[in-house]
Chain A
């Protein structure tokens, strides 16, 4: 029998679960196909499929799915409702499975995470494995192995990220969702430009979420989006150690539009708000970032 081919779109969910999925399915002896890094072509495909008011990250995901269409047996798209009552996700995460299911004729492999109603990640993986015809034992072993591997890798990344705080260079905290920051079309150009300007970039998602989650209460008491909690929770942790903050969001991200506005009103560090859309205009960002770095350097010189 041929191996089952699983397609993983290198977009939104990939940056939370990508490693876990790849390891899990490799352990179960499936073929894994990850879509290539985002390029202009994929983005344009996504824009074609998407509703014009959808956020850029959604368009990006749809582009990746359209790339994978026909190249694999299943495309994996989870539906994430919440990680507990006060740790919800953006409504796009709730709707994405149904949207994709209606738009594409491809078979979809999906699972539901709804911790408030006792639908945990492990249950989701079990469900998914059963659909592919594996036994409970096989699935559980593969899940556990994959999970351990991913946790170790994440800890290593977090350690490296925290180490950067001791650097002598100008340090800037980049606040945003991982699927925007690490995307080759959305966030990567900005990060590499900052590195070219000799700035140390600290990522908001690479902290222990057990710390950043609760500490975000200092900035916003009523926040109930898990991913936003974790990214703004990084501010109180590092605010004495960094020289500036960059808010990176895509147009028109629902949670970011409110949360970032609130946080900007409360912090006392230099900050810049970058909103990316599907119109190509990276030159404007470069000018803004250059002057932002100048401000940080000037401020540092005064304080020393």
Chain B
């Protein structure tokens, strides 16, 4: 029997750890779908329901591109809002389009059914070994942690680099090396080595630089194509960017952090509000009270939990007198419009500083 080909949706740089994990645990070809482009979103929009949130369209488009490249196993996860229901509808849509494939859903009905996933992987590769899989799962989780840690550092300093693109270049080198990691200790060694190098990259950072917090819906935050490289545009203005949401946070920290946020912002919210809405309200209060110059809230259009959070975020920012900019990204948003709005926002915070 010929080898199967596995593919999965993109989100930022996280295709690297996912590829690493799959490569080590199953004997199959791993197809990295082409980077999200305007063709992806076009394909996705064409076959999606009318007012579904944009991540659905992006992932559906990626799947179609992967299937066109002869993938026969697709992997999708699920989450707390509408995201949990993506898999079943995407499966149906792709089947109706006439593709032949197996669809593996890692989280169904809000729970991970380990036995089911084990059976699925056993079907792909009869040598699939659970202990080995658990070990590499651990290594991958560490890889995600290291990536996010380095990313956080880069995000704070990329606007002030002296030589252009030096951070991006160093980060690329690190990710290339991560792909070759033999095990946990090897990975940690490489992380320490590269992080030391990245820290040595010369920067010119004024002590009173502008600081902006970026909050919002998770997919739009983490996929640069979905937010039209918002962070890079901010970096060009020489702004230090703080972003909380990353894969490590969502996978390992969210559960206990949410409770902290609820306690911290208890004059505004009493209950969880689905997905990251409660977290974002807590973060808004934190950013407002910690001398940030502005807050940018981004989401894909029709993201229900964030729509609920927006009036409350607006209220907090009004009370603390901190400017806030709301973006709702759609497949049809133009980059120029975003740049103009960001420029105006930057001018405003600059003027406020002078006062």
Spell out A's residues near B (CB within 8 Å). Answer: 51, 53-55, 79, 81, 85-86, 88, 90-92, 94-99, 101-103, 112, 220-225, 251-255, 257-262, 265-266, 275
Contact = CB atoms under 8 A, between A and B. Distances in A.
Given A91-B273, A98-B271, A258 B308 contact: no
A224 B109 contact: yes
B312 interface: yes
Contact of B82 (A54, A220, A258, A266): A258
B282 to A, nearest CB: 12
Given A98-B268, A222-B88, A255-B82, A51 B310 contact: yes
Given A90-B304, A96-B308, A97-B271, 16 more contacts: A51-B310, A86-B110, A88-B110, A94-B308, A95-B308, A101-B270, A102-B268, A222-B105, A224-B85, A253-B51, A254-B53, A254-B82, A255-B82, A255-B85, A261-B49, A275-B50
B22 interface: no
A95 B89 contact: no
Q: Which 4 A-B pairs have the closest CB atoms?
A: A91-B274, A95-B308, A252-B51, A95-B273
Interface in B297-311: 301-302, 304-305, 307-311
Contact of B304 (A92, A102, A220, A251): A92
Interface string B301-330: 110110111111001000000000000100
Nearest to B48: A261
A92 B308 contact: yes
A257 B307 contact: no
A252 B272 CA distance: 22
B276 to A, nearest CB: 11
A86 B49 contact: no
Contact of A222 (B49, B56, B108, B304): B108
Interface of B: 49-53, 56, 81-82, 84-89, 92-93, 96, 105, 108-111, 268-275, 277, 301-302, 304-305, 307-312, 315, 328
A102 B271 contact: no
Contacts of B110: 85-86, 88, 224
A95 B309 contact: yes
B78 to A, nearest CB: 8
A258 B304 contact: no
A112 B108 contact: no
Contacts of B53: 254
Given A53-B302, A92-B304, A257-B50, A222 B85 contact: yes
Contacts of A86: 109-110
A258 B328 contact: no
A257 B309 contact: no
Given A222-B87, A224-B110, A112 B50 contact: no
Contact of B274 (A55, A95, A266): A95
A98 B313 CA distance: 12
Contacts of A54: 307-308
20 contacts: A51-B311, A53-B307, A55-B304, A79-B270, A81-B272, A85-B110, A86-B109, A94-B273, A94-B308, A95-B277, A98-B312, A102-B311, A112-B271, A220-B88, A223-B88, A254-B81, A257-B82, A258-B56, A261-B89, A265-B92
Contacts of A262: 88-89, 92
B52 A258 contact: yes
A119 to B, nearest CB: 11
* Residue with the greatest number of chain A CB neighbours at <10 A, chosen from B277, B305, B308: B308
A103 B311 contact: yes
A206 B277 CA distance: 33
A265 B49 CA distance: 11
Contacts of B81: 91, 254
B122 to A, nearest CB: 21
Nearest to B84: A224
Given A98-B270, A99-B312, A261-B49, A53 B301 contact: yes
Contacts of B309: 95
Contacts of A251: 51
A92 B307 CA distance: 9
A259 B51 contact: no
A81 B271 CA distance: 9
A99 B311 CA distance: 7
B50 A99 contact: no
A275 B309 CA distance: 24
Contacts of A88: 110
A117 to B, nearest CB: 11
B345 to A, nearest CB: 20
Contacts of B311: 51, 99, 102-103
Contacts of A275: 50-51
Given A112-B271, A224-B110, A254 B87 contact: no
B315 A91 contact: no
Contacts of A102: 268, 311-312, 315
A257 B273 contact: no
Contacts of A254: 53, 81-82, 302, 304
A90 B92 CA distance: 22
B270 A258 contact: no
Contacts of A55: 304
